[in-house]
Amino acid sequence: HVTRREDYRAPDWTVPEIALDFDLDPVATRVRATLLVERSGAHDRPLVLNGDGLAAESVKVDGAEAEGWRMDGPDLVIPLAGDAHEIETVVTIAPERNTQLQGLYASSGMLCTQCEAEGFRRITFFPDRPDVLSKYKVRMAADKARFPVLLANGDPIAQGDAGDGRHWAEWHDPFPKPSYLFALVAGDLVANRGVFTTMRGRKVDLGIWVRAGDLPKTDHALHALKLSMAWDETVYGREYDLDVFNIVAVDDFNFGAMENKGLNVFNSRYILADPDTATDYDYDAIAAVVAHEYFHNWSGNRVTCRDWFQLSLKEGFTVFRDQSFSGDQGSKAVKRIEDVRGLRASQFPEDAGPLAHSVRPDEYIEISNFYTATIYNKGAEVIRMMSTILGREKFRAATDLYFDRFDGTAATCEDFVRCMEEAGGVDLTQFRRWYSQAGTPRVSANLAQEGGRARLRLAQTVPPTPGQPAKEPMVLPLRLKLFGGITGRPMCDEQLVLLKDAAHEMLFENLSEPPVLSINRGFSAPVIVETNRTAKDLAFLSAHDDDPFARYEAMQQLMLDTLVAAVTSGKGEHAAVIEAVRNTLLDSALDKAFVAEAVLLPSDSFIGDQMGMVDPDAIFAAREALRADLGTALESEWRAAYDGAQANRFEYSPAAKGARRLKTVALGYIAASGADDAAALAFGQFEAADNMTDRQGALTTLVNGNSDKREAALAAFYQRYQGNALVLDKWFQTQALSSRDDAAQAVEALAAHKDFTLANPNRARALIGAFSVNQRAFHDPSGRGYRFVADQLIALDRLNPQTAAKLVPPLGRWKRFDPARAARMRAELERIIATPGLSKDMFEQASKSLD
């Protein structure tokens, strides 16, 4: 069954108020829901309450047994005579048996909820759609010993003893909200507490709730929360609105975290951190996700989505907000580089494959499948482009208008764009194509010198995507600048060019030297740019461009061109890359984090994305050859960088993070050089490390190698962190990403390890998700990688369709591979589709992947 955007109809019935009464128990939880319902408009349609696996034990209308109610599939249908009624239903659910982790479920002894997008209907009968906003009162009772802490949305109202070893608590949320923002948690939890005073002087009690043993790992998250609250006041003028803000960390969670009003629920990997167990990457991700969920309080909760086709309204905007926040905490340039690398690794392939969809999709079978890099990350780029076009002040005026006009309502992407137009004084008619057209635009930029003048020819095309064979030109904001190829001096101020037509020409006059083009600076548009720049131009920009992102980009392009040529011709011409990397390494004005990013080679899969047909073995060989040459030619520079990045004691600061990053990158190149002492150096770092970044960096180097230290390090790591699930995930993941020949075999063995389980999404992703992006291993010509992943996904689908379906896309890339591999990948997709009892989540992903 397909849901279409054009079929949207306002709700027949609204629910201004709901009271929920939970008798909590892992085996059988009784849920009594009392809804005040009101007919909306003039119609005689019955009340339809969504359910998913629920059986009504009692249905009352205005206090009396309801008459004439019926089930329509999973939904409850009640004919009603008047325009306003009180409806009461009672159901019993079994949290402990809920392996889907949607609705009310059990995780490590606690009970918690996840409702977005359509999980509330697994808890109680309700119009489970985001445009029905209600005020919630929640009462819950539970065993006092097992569940001493009882939390829900809003403010705590009352609590008491219920006798029989049970107790109860009541919470009220004064802000009307859609059902997907409902949450409750019951468990044996402790809180790291804090206070935040808002810009108008209101005190907010903060709590990060975890199991007792995890309390020492919550300071970073609490600190990030306070920074986020202050940032949203300063940058967007948004103040928090309740007296309490709680976050709970749970071990079993389908994605990162959830922005439930006043009660965020998090995957514990995005809360828990200390130097011994979390990498710098983890610390950064925790701050980013804490900020993301907090920012949703305005972009998502106060203003929510009219329907799920508008998902990017809250997700794209909130990702843009969290990216800006993170950029403000450290190096903006490095943050931008990381975000663009992420976009290219996940969104570009999505846009180029069978699951391509627009930022505002037109239809879905299962909405969970649309929590994608396109909705989130391309959506964020679309907001970023509007902020670039409007400029800082007008963009702020536009977001003020948006929050003001739509506060307390369920809005659309169109509403947002109209605020941008009104406050920005711009016409975004054509720009709206970013919401409707899928596919990554391609821009060609050719600069030709004609004496003292230069002509820049720009052209754009948008490739066909499923269901969208022909495309119209987009509005592409391109920041560009010219540099003198001899002096390195800028030849003009940076310009913001809005490319709107299929082709456009610009003339630059009075040039005293040959110009070099710097374009799409800061990655101002999420497009693929092809230029006629030579290796010499790129090397020049990698050393002289004054936009750090453009500098990084020039280096990446030089590396890519080199690698693609090597894959095609079978032999590599590495001198230009070696020279450029040497210059970057020796430039003492650059910060270490930037250097580490700039000298990193593009990934196997990104190299593959540049080629008509991906040859995983040839790509791997070409990349390893370049790595080895870089390692050997610059061995003394790598050693100097390595030694220069040593620190005395762990510290979480931008400078210390940058040093650690460069240190591990340098270690990797020293190992690539084949130096005799490389394994000893890595093992030394592994053993002496006082933090997880250094330890995991060393472990990765050892795991990719063949030294006798490899097994020792893996065993020591396992020994040390046994019982710490989040660190064991790293142990699985590092091996799944191994570049060794035996990776596929090793992963099959790890799937039988006693610590491997499909029941925990983090663990499933650490092994299966990581393995399927290990390009060479996954695409082993025998097809064993495909078979392994399909077997695991079929098994996982029986437990947790949402998490299984998210892991299908690597199998869907068959079109980009040779006929033998493509046939094997298709055969596995067909096997998945033929599985009896397959979920609609998996059916949608696998069947679309075959077309």
The site for ligand ARG (CB under 6 A) is made up of: 116-117, 255, 257-259, 292-293, 315, 368, 371
> At a CB cut-off of 8 Å and minimum separation 6, what does 65 contact?
58, 59
> At a CB cut-off of 8 Å and minimum separation 6, what does 708 contact?
679
Buried b (16+ CB within 10 A) or exposed e, 79-112: ebeeeebebbbbbebebeebbbbbbbbbbeebbb
Q: What strand order describes the sheet that includes 149-152?
A: 103-107, 110-114, 184-187, 149-152
The dihedrals phi and psi of 203, each to the nearest 5 degrees, come to -90, 130
* Catalytic annotation, pick one of 116, 118, 293, 828: 293
Distance CA 388, CA 267 (A): 33
Sign for the CA dihedral angle at 654, 658, 664, 665 comes to: positive
Q: How far is the CB of 296 from ligand ARG (least distance, A)?
A: 6
Q: How far is the CB of 645 from ligand ARG (least distance, A)?
A: 34
Q: How far is the CB of 569 from ligand ARG (least distance, A)?
A: 44
Token representation of residue 9: 């109809």
> At a CB cut-off of 8 Å and minimum separation 6, what does 781 contact?
617, 820, 821
The binder of 116, among ligand ARG, Zn ion, none, by C-beta within 5 to 8 A per type, is ligand ARG
**Beta carbon nearer to ligand ARG, 293 or 351:** 293
**Beta carbon nearer to Zn ion, 235 or 655:** 235
**Beta carbon nearer to Zn ion, 318 or 387:** 318
Closest CA to 662 of 678, 680, 644: 644
**Beta carbon nearer to ligand ARG, 170 or 259:** 259
Distance CA 698, CA 687 (A): 9
Q: How far is the CB of 376 from Zn ion (least distance, A)?
A: 7
- At 484 the three-state DSSP class reads strand
Q: How far is the CB of 350 from Zn ion (least distance, A)?
A: 17
**Beta carbon nearer to ligand ARG, 381 or 545:** 381
Token representation of residue 632: 């050997």
Q: How far is the CB of 436 from ligand ARG (least distance, A)?
A: 22
Distance CA 326, CA 336 (A): 10
Helix 575-586 vs helix 616-633: angle between axes, to the nearest 10 degrees?
50
**Beta carbon nearer to ligand ARG, 368 or 520:** 368
Please answer whether residues 208 and 222 qualify as being in contact, where contact means their C-beta atoms are separated by less than 8 angstroms: yes
Please answer whether residues 270 and 286 qualify as being in contact, where contact means their C-beta atoms are separated by less than 8 angstroms: yes
- At 236 the three-state DSSP class reads helix
Q: How far is the CB of 242 from Zn ion (least distance, A)?
A: 19
Cis (ω within 30 of 0) for the bond into 169?
A: no
**Beta carbon nearer to Zn ion, 288 or 445:** 288
Residue number with the smallest Cβ distance to ligand ARG: 371
Name the site residues for Zn ion (rule: CB under 5 A).
315, 318
Please answer whether residues 271 and 286 qualify as being in contact, where contact means their C-beta atoms are separated by less than 8 angstroms: yes
**Beta carbon nearer to Zn ion, 359 or 596:** 359
293 in active site: yes
Q: How far is the CB of 289 from Zn ion (least distance, A)?
A: 9
Q: DSSP readout, 521-545?
A: GGG-SSSEEEE---HHHHHHHHHH-
Kindly report the three-state secondary structure assignment for every residue of 839-850.
Answer: CHHHHHHHHHHH
Residues in the chain: 851
Which of the residues are catalytic? 293
